[in-house]
Structure 1
């Protein structure tokens, strides 16, 4: 992957001059419930759009956070009505130069905060990676970009991470993507449509590449084929009765370019929410285009296991499998 280093240097310098502005970012999503003790919460965020997100719906949305956990020691928040898409940042004590953009799931109904967001951010930061948890806009909430709106935010997020690479001691050529469930669809859309223009450039960051060095869609929503699609994600993305052409255009297995990055795929065969065939179709498409791919299937795990629900099962090994693979895929 080629990064325009002159553009990157100019963007980084501009970022330094605008330091005062960068401090005034939108806080992470909040909920009324007290935070679980001992779990660090992010305090640093990066707003994606300096003048506000494009294509605002009318009437305006109001961001809301639901706390779904009844356990005082475990948080399980979900956010929707996102009007200021942003990244929550997890900085490691000793940066290894690598970064990961995380797109949590939520069936395009909401974006989960903890299970596939903050928990993975903490895990990555503990191992030297700078993690950016993306709270992306939802396609069913009337944004002008429609089904492309999560991809718009994901492309912009990748470019902003590179734009601010020096601020985080990361190598701009070592920025990966990882997504879960519907967030896996965001991840796979980014890894296959990174070069597709889906928004008007707004600043110097948009001169940079949105291609991740490698991608890890985890138990992902991939196909919009009604035979295997997750019905809720498909409906919120494309409406009740999308045409066959629409279904193909927003199925990442149908949009793989020859220069797609290496992929790490993971799914449980007993997933009763998003059929494993989604991952199988993406693997077949990647192989057909000559894109490096590693796939792990586990007999048991169900859907949405993330880190917390994998404990005590063979699928518990998945994060270290990803980490070992990432070393061979350019992330280091």
Structure 2
């Protein structure tokens, strides 16, 4: 009887192993741009979320909806963490599962930290990884059952800054092409910002994130370049923004300035500002005062699909 049970279970175990998703390296080791060898290690901090610090090398994790539910859209997910860590499940894999429920393929990026010992130029590393990631999705669009012209990006907090950088710096590639993946377009087809850092300007930015990304005494030119509200053009993708007025970490002015720039350039934009919620509420399930932004996002995505794709 024991032998029979083992035989019956074996196909199930094989099936589960095949279906399990594992993060994949974004770069081949010899092709990582802006990189130097080092002995530093990543650290996973024991908290109520998975917080990964000192990220040395980028990975991408794939979450796919069922084929019957899939609508051919895809989204690159950039978790926050103040450019000091990656809130991997809280603003990453939890989001991915929600997007799957909407029929959208989701890809969680663990991007390099600007001050990691492996990084040569701090401000380039995150955007290099983000540009590579969206190209990776498009290059493998057939494999993932997605339309390469329906690939967007979502970012929270510092991840929102990185997402807005991806959406406003797409005329420049931040690294030299390494392989066929890098022939793909880096412009997202839509942009979603959740309590985002957008500006690097004094009095608006989150100072700790700016220090990590640009250094403690950045040049005026560098501040301007990564104040993404100044980079908006008519070609910036349609944008959905959520923020809370009582956010004490990242001032709501980041989202307001971004929205004003989008409207000025006649880009389709939606901004929801809530009086409560504070900062860092993820999907908004952990505290009663957090806004129910996923319901709003679902309607926006449906409208986007109907009107733009």
TM-score clears 0.5: yes
In the TM superposition, what is the alpha-carbon distance from 1:245 to its structure 2 partner?
1.8
Give TM-score, length-normalised by structure 1. Answer: 0.81
2:94 pairs with one of 108, 114, 119: 119
Higher alpha-carbon Rg: 2
Q: What's the counterpart of residue 307 of structure 1?
A: 283
Q: 1:50 aligns with which of 28, 36, 40?
A: 28
How many residues are paired up? 285
Aligned counterpart for 1:236 among listed residues 212, 237, 240:
212
> Are 1:89 and 2:62 counterparts?
yes
Query: What is the CA distance between 1:197 and its match in structure 2?
Result: 1.7
Deviation at 1:60, TM superposition (A): 3.6
TM-score by length of 2: 0.87
- Give 1:292 deviation, angstroms: 1.3
The question of 1:224 aligning with 2:200 is answered yes
SS in 2 for 1:202: coil
Off by >6 Å, runs of 4+ in structure 1: none
Is the 8 Å Cα contact of residues 85 and 136 (structure 1) preserved in structure 2? Answer: yes
Query: Per the alignment, in what secondary structure is the counterpart of residue 146 of structure 1?
Result: coil
Say which of 45, 62, 68 aligns to 2:47.
Answer: 68
Asked if 1 retains the 8 angstrom alpha-carbon contact of 2:155 and 2:193, the reply is yes
Structure 1 residue 309: Cα displacement: 4.2
2:243 matched to which residue of 1?
267
Bigger mean CA deviation after superposition, 170-179 or 79-88: 79-88
> Over the residues paired in the alignment, what is the CA RMSD in angstroms?
1.8
Report the 3-state secondary structure (helix = DSSP H, G, I; strand = E; otherwise coil) of the residue aligned with 2:103: coil
In structure 2, the partner of 1:277 is 253
What is the CA-CA distance between 1:145 and the residue it aligns to? Answer: 3.7
Secondary structure of the residue aligned to 1:200 is coil
8 Å Cα contact 1:188-1:222 kept in structure 2? yes
Equivalent residue number for residue 180 of structure 2:
204
Structure 2 contact 281–290 (Cα < 8 Å) conserved: no
Out of 291, 301, 307, the position equivalent to 1:326 is: 301
Q: Secondary structure at the match of 1:267?
A: strand
CA distance in structure 2 between the aligned counterparts of 1:96 and 1:231, rounded to whole angstroms: 39
1:308, CA displacement in angstroms? Answer: 4.5
Shift in alpha-carbon separation, 1:101–1:136, aligned structure 2, 3 A: same
